[in-house]
Amino acid sequence: MFRFRCLALAALIPAAALSFGLSATLAQTPSPAPAASASPSPAPSASPSPAASASPAPVATPSPAASASPSPATSSPATSSPATSSSPAASASPSPAAPPPAAAANPAPVQTADPFGQEATLEPKKVVMVKGTANWDSAFDTLVDAFKALNTLLDKQGIKHAGNSMIVYTSTDDTGFTFLAEIPVEQDPKNLPKDMSIGKSPEGKALKFVHRGSYDNMDNTYEAITNHLDDKKLEAKDTFIEEYLTDPLKTAEDKLVINVFVPLK
């Protein structure tokens, strides 16, 4: 896999972030344990029961005579004193308020985690493509120029994209690489230049990885991909695909989001 990205560096920040996200999730899981909030619940339930039993007594006494109502009224303060004593027990309820923040914190790492080495099946799509070669020093600029040429052709003919732009690397060496820039379409463009053609995108089983950041920093991602394949003892084909979830023509380079698909033998 090193020949796919000859400038690969050592350490992958996304992989470290993923492991950190998992450790953070494990660190937060004990917080629901204090959900022994069953202890506060009996205290409030015990105190309301006398209050509830006292309330029926006043209701029954007013019916015989209006004069009897004052006496329960005087007795009600006596019964209300236990109710006031229960209010401190109710004030202890802030302790159960601690679990909600812990519960809210748990989903966050799950939502932000990107797939790494996820099994995927690529479905073939009709694409308009252009062949090209690039040096590693100016790789991203060359890829952007290829996408610009394809977009210019499609815009002139009023043809819309039917999917995300892709780069398929066909070969690499120490100085550069050859590639196919592809854009999915639903109709065939006309009057294609010699270096452009209509074809199908790659298909079959692959592993999916996600890269966030600049194209130059993808060396770290490919280094991590290489390590993953070595650990799992998997063998990749002599090609790989980058699917640009963000438009490289309109997105700042350090804000790119790219799916990397590695077809397996």
Please name the residues in contact with 195: beta carbons below 8 A apart, sequence gap of 6 or more. Answer: 130, 131, 132
Whether 58 and 151 share a structural domain: no
Q: With 0.75 as the threshold, say if the pTM is over it.
A: no
pLDDT digits (tens, 9 = 90+) for 167-184: 999 999 999 999 999 999
Q: Is 72 inside a domain boundary?
A: yes
In this structure, the answer to whether residues 91 and 126 fall within a common structural domain is: no
User: Is the same domain home to 137 and 247?
Assistant: yes
Q: Is 103 inside any structural domain?
A: no
Q: Is residue 120 domain-shared with residue 93, that is, in the same domain?
A: no
CA-to-CA distance for 262 and 236, rounded, in angstroms? Answer: 7
Mean pLDDT computed over 107-120: 69
Domain count, the chain: 2
256 and 131 share one domain: yes
247 & 215 share domain: yes
Give CA separation, 170 vs 3, 13, 18, in Å: 12, 27, 30
CATH number at residue 156: 3.20.80.10
Query: Do residues 69 and 128 both lie within one domain?
Result: no
Question: Among 9-18, 63-72, 166-175, where is mean pLDDT lowest?
Answer: 9-18
In 3-state terms, what secondary structure has residue 180?
strand
For 91-97, what is the mean pLDDT? Answer: 49
Cα separation, 249 vs 151, in Å, equals 10
In this structure, are 126 and 252 located in the same domain?
yes
Does residue 29 form part of some domain? no
Say if residue 124 is in the same domain as residue 253.
yes
- Identify the residue with better confidence: 19 or 223: 223
Domain that holds residue 85: 42-97
Structure tokens at 175: 């100085």
- Of residues 179 and 25, the one with the higher pLDDT is 179
Residues 119 and 246 in one domain: yes
- 14 vs 121, which has greater pLDDT? 121
Q: Give 3-state DSSP helix, strand, coil % of the chain, rounded to 5.
A: 40, 25, 35
